[in-house]
Amino acid sequence: MKYEIVEIDRPRPVARPRRFGKVYRRWGKPVFDVAMSLVLLPLLVVVAMLLLVLNPFFNPGPLFYMQPRMGRGCRAFTAIKFRTMTPAARITRSAEDPLEHDRITPLGRIMRRSRIDELPQILNVLRGDMSLIGPRPDYFHHARRYVRSVPGYRRRHDVRPGISGLAQTDLGYVDCTEGTRRKVALDLRYVDEMSLRLDLYVFWRTLVTVFWRRGC
């Protein structure tokens, strides 16, 4: 069952985490993040080598794409992904523009739908910039606008951003300010209720998304 989207403009009580929840947030989740990322490192190497062979034919250009994203405490960090779009000299898409689907390459489309393009972000997890599960980080310059225009957007950065998150599994890809408002509603629910049970729910939903190739 999907989590319900609530109105973020209306204040609601925040449940205080139980003792086990506090232990999980402080120790269990970081340890799990690092351990699982180390397990996934060999897969990252194999996929990278495969893409080095395929990219010249189906996705010409650099293997990786790096972009400044807004992380915990609204601080910028550099997120790394497998590149899925044709290279551009600079980003011209504004916070209100839709995704540039015309720039997605054939191989890039497959990677996005299977979420393989997110795999290099385990390096961000190992650096401490991200978690495996958490609110997805937005492009930093778009995020600065959302901080000013979307209620609750700043508070979603009270935790580390994730490779996958509740909003991505239960809502899907969104863009523009109105879509971001809906995303933030679920992100704040995750921030308030973060627990092992909720992370396992998001992890399972992510596996379903990858298996059925429901990415954007």
Per residue in 100-153, pLDDT (tens digit) is 888 999 999 999 988 999 999 999 999 999 999 999 999 999 999 999 999 999
Buried b (16+ CB within 10 A) or exposed e, 25-63: eeebbeebbeeebeebeeebeebeeebeeebeeebeeee
pLDDT in tens, 160-198: 999 999 999 998 888 788 889 999 999 999 999 999 999
Question: 167 is in which domain, residue-wise?
Answer: 28-211
Would 7 be classed as within a structural domain? no
pTM, two decimal places: 0.85
**What count of residues does the chain have?**
216
Would 8 be classed as within a structural domain? no
| Domains contained in the chain, number | 1
Would 19 be classed as within a structural domain? no
Would 22 be classed as within a structural domain? no
Would 90 be classed as within a structural domain? yes
Of 41-50, 188-197, 205-214, give the lowest mean pLDDT range: 205-214
pLDDT at 20: 63
Region 69-89 average pLDDT = 95
Strand (E) or helix (H) holding 164: strand 162-164
Region 57-69 average pLDDT = 95
Q: At 101, phi and psi to the nearest 5?
A: -60, -30
Would 18 be classed as within a structural domain? no
Query: Which among 164, 173, 170 has a CA at the least distance from the CA of 119?
Result: 164
